[in-house]
Amino acid sequence: MKRLTNLTAFLSVVVFVGCVSSHKQMSESDRDKLLIIWQSKDATPEKKVAALNRFIPKGTDGEFVKQLLGSFVTWNRYHGPTLDYYGKKKYEDHDFWTLESNITKEEFISLSFHQVPSDPSFHVLFDGATIGRRLQN
């Protein structure tokens, strides 16, 4: 296989392949239903999280989800050692990505993603959505 030397061509292929696979997983009808709830000012955070988990299939490409939800979400990365303060267990280090949308100062909607291990570039897949709460000082 020839090595791509043109970065623009490479990025175009990655974006195209990611969008094609994501569109196969999520129907236009499901996308429209999700966006109605996601953009509604009357929808509760719980209803938005339920819609995200219902209409976005697990394994959907992260960039597709980011484009779908728009400027309401930002990428965050959490990585480092997992500490056990109570026992003497050794855990693997954690490394995952989220898209987050603020609800209030203390709460946010968090969409979790995992990095595709075989892909050294940024390529994450959707795992699920929850409501997160920030620690209080």
Per-residue pLDDT of 115-136, as tens digits, reads: 888 888 889 999 999 999 988 7
What sign results for the dihedral spanned by CA atoms 39, 43, 44, 48?
negative
- Report the pLDDT value the prediction gives residue 93, as an integer from 0 to 100: 77
Q: Two tokens at 42?
A: 């009357």
Whether the per-residue pLDDT at 57 is higher than 90: the answer is yes
- Report the pLDDT value the prediction gives residue 134, as an integer from 0 to 100: 87
Higher pLDDT, 91 or 53: 53
Stretch 79-90: mean pLDDT:
78
Q: Two tokens at 21?
A: 């696979």
Whether the per-residue pLDDT at 25 is higher than 50: the answer is yes
pLDDT digits 0-9 by tens, 13-23: 333 344 444 44
**Strand residue runs (E) in the chain:** 74-80, 94-102, 107-115, 124-133
Query: Domain locations in the chain?
Result: 10-133
Are the beta carbons of 127 and 58 closer than 8 angstroms?
Answer: yes
**Distances from the Cα of 24 to the Cα of 7, 9, 57, angstroms:** 26, 23, 10
Coil, strand or helix at 123? coil
pLDDT band at 137 (very low <50, low <70, confident <90, very high): low
